[in-house]
Structure 1
Amino acid sequence: MFSDWKSLIPIVTSVVTSIVAIFAVILTCKQIRLSNKQHLFDKRLENYIIATGLIQLYRSNCKHINNEKDTPMLSNDMNFNFLTNNTYLEQITCAIYNSLKEPSHKELLIKLENLKEVATKIKFLFADNVSILLGDFVLRYQELLFEMYKYQTCINEINKENENHKLTLEEIAQKVGEKTCRVRLQEAFDNLKKADSVLKRANVEEQIKKQIKLH
């Protein structure tokens, strides 16, 4: 009888080992899923905070932005200040006063690339059409900042030419090709305004919040 039990020990040991291994695999899978879920939550929250920061910045300042259509936008630098006045964008605010100059130029280009990445990440991190709408808003914001930065070079040329006091503002603007730049800038303003209107109609912010929550 004892010898029979003795012969069963390896089998019992093998079964127990297998059961323990199975439980270990199950626990590992659960931990991986939880870790992935937490990572997704962190990434969603990080990019949502950036996007909502831009939304709030735009909505709180859009009424104060002097967006001339028929004359040179001499307040472009002030408008740029309004639209970069938060902790995520504040390091590029000074770039508008140092257009094409280092290190401000490089910092601005890096931040604009970061915004494009945020727009792309949002479209992959969130589900449904709301992800596309929110990502598009961020991209329109990025495009507007870049157009404002480029337009400032025209304004700088106008100011430089104006020091000679030989030509009128209209003549100087025509000389430096300001109108073409202004049209592109105006289109960028309009595109961002439309993107924001779509966010409001689709109640995107609330829908994104629901997707962020951990279940």
Structure 2
Amino acid sequence: MDWEKILSIVTAVTAVIGIVLTWVQILKSNKQALFEKRIKYMVIVSGLVKLYKDNREGILRDTNDKNSPDFSNDIKFRELTNNTYLSTVSNVIQHPKDDSLRKNFLTALEDMEKLSWKIKLSFRCKASILTGDFIYQYQETLRKMYEYQIVLNKIDECNKKEDRRLEEWQEKIGEPQFKEELWEEYGKLENAYNKLVKNKSMKKLKKQTKI
């Protein structure tokens, strides 16, 4: 075998080794990037799950009173947004007609919906589906609470202009229907939370994050 053939073989082998090493490096980089994304998602999700766990009893407690408006809606909203991830939207419940706050709130809801999909696509297990569903329902519940607050504010405004029995304003503005829709969202969120807990989804996602 002459030196030209040997040199060609060595060159080819070197090229293959270079390709393999590059491929290995890309895999490592992708794995590290996925790991960092999972960590970021888990920090957000853990905070929301804990937030709901700590406040769910108070939120669900008043759902048996079908006659009176839930004037504690704003308090419950602030409880469900009382962490760093959602802190920028907590004020919208006090000023639902403020356009800048409303846009910020809607953007946050869109981010939560995206987070739901990111979790489902970043993990490969049933736990990711249940966790993503919980996040999606969380933002749907916040959306309905915001809409219900507008109804409550409308009742208050109308009552200041014309003093009537509360029941009359409830019926005129359609408060019972809005409240029923909100309670349905509460029920869906509670159901999503219970499925997540029963499946031990958070524990499974944390375990998969370490791999």
TM-score when normalising by structure 1 = 0.92
Aligned pair partner of 1:114 in 106, 111, 115: 111
User: Given the alignment of the two structures, is residue 67 of structure 1 paired with residue 24 of structure 2, yes or no?
Assistant: no
Number of matched residues?
Answer: 208
Judge which range, 97-106 or 65-74, deviates more: 65-74
Counterpart of 2:94 in structure 1: which amino acid? Y
User: Given the alignment of the two structures, is residue 176 of structure 1 paired with residue 173 of structure 2, yes or no?
Assistant: yes
> Partners of 2:133 and 2:97 in 1: how far apart?
27
> 1:57 aligns to what?
51
User: Given the alignment of the two structures, is residue 137 of structure 1 paired with residue 134 of structure 2, yes or no?
Assistant: yes
| Equivalence map 1:81-160=2 (5 Å) | 81-160=78-157
> Partners of 1:46 and 1:10 in 2: how far apart?
54
Cα deviations by residue, 1:16-66 (Å, 9 ceiling, x for unpaired): 211211111110010011111111112222222211111011011122335
Structure 1 stretches of 5 or more lacking a match? 1-6
> Partners of 2:156 and 2:132 in 1: how far apart?
36
Structure 2 stretches of 5 or more lacking a match? none
What's the offset of the Cα at 1:197?
0.8
What's the offset of the Cα at 1:112?
0.2
> 2:193 aligns to what?
196
> Partners of 1:128 and 1:63 in 2: how far apart?
29
**Secondary structure of 2:57's aligned partner:** coil
CA radius of gyration, larger in: 1
> Partners of 2:62 and 2:140 in 1: how far apart?
16
> Partners of 2:208 and 2:108 in 1: how far apart?
26
What's the offset of the Cα at 1:165?
5.5
> 1:38 aligns to what?
32
> Partners of 1:59 and 1:162 in 2: how far apart?
36
> Partners of 1:144 and 1:49 in 2: how far apart?
21
> Partners of 2:62 and 2:159 in 1: how far apart?
22
Cα deviations by residue, 1:126-183 (Å, 9 ceiling, x for unpaired): 1121111111000110100000000011010111122145211111111111111101
**Secondary structure of 1:99's aligned partner:** coil
What's the offset of the Cα at 1:188?
0.6
Counterpart of 1:67 in structure 2: which amino acid? D
Counterpart of 1:26 in structure 2: which amino acid? V
What's the offset of the Cα at 1:187?
0.5
4+ residue stretches of structure 1 with deviation over 4 A?
none
TM-score when normalising by structure 2 = 0.94
What's the offset of the Cα at 1:104?
0.2
CA RMSD of aligned residues (A): 1.4
Counterpart of 1:148 in structure 2: which amino acid? M
What's the offset of the Cα at 1:8?
2.1
